[in-house]
Structure 1
Amino acid sequence: MKPSLRSALLAALTLATLSAWAGQPPEWSQPQKPFRIYGNTYYVGTRGLTSILITSPQGLVLIDGTLPQNVKQIEANIQALGFRLTDVKVILNTHAHFDHAGGIAELARDTGARVEASSAGAKALMLGGKDPADPQYGEASPYAPVPHVATVPDLGVVQVGDVAITAHYTPGHTPGATTWTWRSCEAGRCMNMVFADSLGAYAADGYRFSDPAHPERLENYRRSIETIASLPCDILLSPHPDQSDLLERVAKRDAGTKPDPVVDGHACRAYAEEGRAKLEARLAKEKATAAGGKGGR
Structure 2
Amino acid sequence: MKKSLALICLLCINYLAFAQKIAEPLTNMHPEWSKPYPPFKIAGNLYYVGTYDLACYLIVTPKGNILINTGLASSAPFIKASIEALGFKFADTRILLTTQAHYDHVGAMAAIKKMTGAKMMVDAGDAAVLADGGRSDYALGGNVSPYAPVKTDRLLHNGDIIKLGGMQLVMLHHPGHTKGSCSFLFDVKDKNRSYKVLIANLPTIITDKKFSEIPAYPNIAKDYAYTLSAMKKLKFDIWLASHASQFGLYNKHKPGAAYNPAAFIDRQGYDAQLKDLQDQFTKKINGGK
- Report how far residue 253 of structure 1 moved: 11
Task: List 4+ stretches of structure 1 deviating above 4 A.
Answer: 210-215
User: What residue in structure 2 maps to residue 231 of structure 1?
Assistant: 234
Cα drift, residue 77 of structure 1: 0.4
Fraction of identical pairs, as percent: 28
Superposition RMSD in Å? 2.8
Task: Quote the Cα distance in structure 2 between the aligned partners of 1:122 and 1:152.
Answer: 9
Distance 1:255 1:104, change over 3 A: closer
1:216, distance to aligned residue in structure 2 (A): 2.6
Q: Once the 2 structures are TM-superposed, how far is the Cα of residue 66 of structure 1 from its aligned partner? A: 0.5
* 1:14 aligned counterpart, secondary structure: coil
1:182 aligns with 2:197: no
Q: Residue in 2 aligned with 1:14?
A: 20
- Secondary structure at the aligned position of 2:236 is classed as coil
The one-letter code sitting in structure 2 at the alignment partner of 1:155 is G
1:40 matched residue in structure 2: 45
Distance 2:258 2:44 in 1: 19
Structure 2 partner of 1:93? 98
CA offsets per residue over residues 138-196 of structure 1, 9 Å max, x none?
A: 49961100133420111000000111111100001111101111111112411111111
AA aligned opposite 1:254: A
Q: From the superposition, tell whether residues 103 and 16 of structure 1 become closer, same or farther in structure 2 (CA, over 3 Å).
A: closer
Aligned equivalent of 2:12: none
Q: 1:218 to 1:31 in 2, by over 3 A?
A: same
Displacement, 1:16? 4.3
How far is 1:265 from its partner? 3.5
Say yes or no: does 1:217 pair with 2:220: yes
So what's the TM-score if we normalise by structure 1?
0.83
The counterpart of 1:142, out of the listed 146, 149, 169, is 146
Amino acid of the residue matched to residue 260 of structure 1?
A
Q: 1:278 aligns with which of 280, 283, 289?
A: 280
User: Offset at 1:21?
Assistant: 4.1
Question: d(CA) in 2 for partners of 1:210 and 1:77?
Answer: 43
Q: Any conservation in 1 of the 2:41–2:259 contact (CA below 8 Å)?
A: no
Is the deviation greater in 97-106 or in 80-89?
A: 80-89
Partner deviation per Cα, 1:189-240 (whole Å, 9 max, x = no partner): 111111111311111x5x4225598763212111101222111121111111
Give the alignment of 1:1-297 within 5 angstroms: 14-18=20-24, 20-132=25-137, 134-138=138-142, 142-203=146-207, 207-210=209-212, 216-251=219-254, 254=257, 260-284=262-286, 287-288=287-288
- Larger Cα Rg: Structure 1 or Structure 2? 1
TM-superposed CA distance for 1:117, in Å, is 0.7
Instruction: Measure the CA separation in 2 of the matches of 1:140 and 1:255.
Output: 44
Unaligned runs of 5+ in 1: 1-11, 290-297
Q: For residues 196 and 52 of structure 2, what CA distance do their matches in structure 1 show?
A: 24
Could you list the per-position Cα deviations for residues 220-273 of structure 1 after superposition, in whole angstroms to 9, with x for gaps in the alignment?
A: 11110122211112111111100110232123993799x933212344333322
CA deviations over 1:82-136 (Å, ceiling 9, x no partner): 111121110001000000011100011111100001001222111111125x233
Q: Is the 8 A contact 2:38 2:255 kept in 1?
A: no
Distance in structure 1 (CA, Å) of the matches to 2:166 and 2:250: 27
- Secondary structure of 2:285 counterpart: helix
Q: Cα–Cα, structure 1 residues 260 and 149, in superposed 2: closer, same or farther, change >3 Å?
A: same
Query: Residue 23 of structure 2: SS of its match in structure 1?
Result: helix
What secondary structure sits across from 2:201 in the alignment?
A: coil
Q: Which amino acid aligns with 1:231?
A: L
| Unmatched 5+ stretches in structure 2 | 1-17
Give per-residue Cα distances to partners, 1:50-80, cap 9 Å, x unaligned. Answer: 0000111111000001101011000100111
The AA in structure 2 aligned to 1:81 is L
In structure 2, C-alpha distance between the alignment counterparts of 1:23 and 1:212, rounded to whole Å: 27
Partner Cα separation in structure 1 for residue 70 and residue 130 of structure 2:
12
Distance (whole Å) between structure 2 residues aligned to residue 248 and residue 225 of structure 1: 25
Distance in 1, Cα, partners of 2:219 & 2:80: 39
Distance 1:65 1:278, change over 3 A: same
Q: 1:75 to 1:223 in 2, by over 3 A?
A: same
8 Å CA contact retained: 2:134, 2:140: no
Task: Give the letter for the 1:229 counterpart.
Answer: K
